[in-house]
Amino acid sequence: MLLFVILGVAIAITLFIVFQITVVRPIRDLRTDIASITGSMDYSMRAQIRNQDEIGALSRDFNTMLGLIEANNQELKQLSETDPLTGLFNRLAMDKKLQQAWHLLIRTSDPLTVMLVDIDYFKAYNDHFGHQQGDEAIRQQSSILRGIFKRETDIIGRYGGEEFVVVLSDVNEEQLKQSCQKILLGWEETNLAHAPNAAHPFISCSIGAVITNTPGDASIDSLIDVADKALYEAKDKGKACYELAVL
């Protein structure tokens, strides 16, 4: 009788240990993975698949759900940073990119350039031809900029309305002037008729640019302010031209 009791206890202990190893521990480990991922909100992480049973299947299902969340988050991030009309960065994203470029170039001491590009007499064009044609003009400006600034480090965005911003690193003054000329030439080659009441017969743009060889001596806000003043100087000179400031 005692032998049966001992044997029963041994079997119970063995079953308990097996249950702990095969069920409780994997569930506890999965719970730890889930808590770590949800706590960090890093949905690129994945739960470790330790078993090839139902718990392993549960881990795989959880990882599949994480993949969907990660994809949705990336899509939402892209939508939140992208101008829907042009596909360029929007103002919110450009403000972030400007800060990132500025901090990077402070460390490298490379030149930093900020350009503001504005379509001339856009309101007259938009009022005369309608919003659809106005949108096409904005897309055309986007296309011109994309065709010129192709380096991975070049940052282009729509800053609002008909105004665009370009951020360049490691560009000298002469290269900047050439880029400005290419932008102006892009509209000349487009040969898009303007509104009858516009001062120019064809669509053009004005450019205000600032270049600094010492980014650490200026703030992002001050660079944008200088570029904005240069843009207004270009407008005052008759538009379809550029003004360059060097700091």
User: Mind telling me the catalytic residues?
Assistant: 162
3-state secondary structure the chain: CHHHHHHHHHHHHHHHHHHHHHHHHHHHHHHHHHHHHHHHCCCCCCCCCCCCCHHHHHHHHHHHHHHHHHHHHHHHHHHHHECCCCCCECHHHHHHHHHHHHHHHHHHCCCEEEEEEEECCHHHHHHHHCHHHHHHHHHHHHHHHHHHCCCCCCEEEEEECCEEEEEEECCCHHHHHHHHHHHHHHHHHHCCECCCCCCCCECCEEEEEEEECCHHHCCHHHHHHHHHHHHHHHHHCCCCCEEEEEC
- Whether 112 and 100 have beta carbons less than 8 Å apart is answered as no
Q: Which residue has the tokens 């400007």?
A: 98
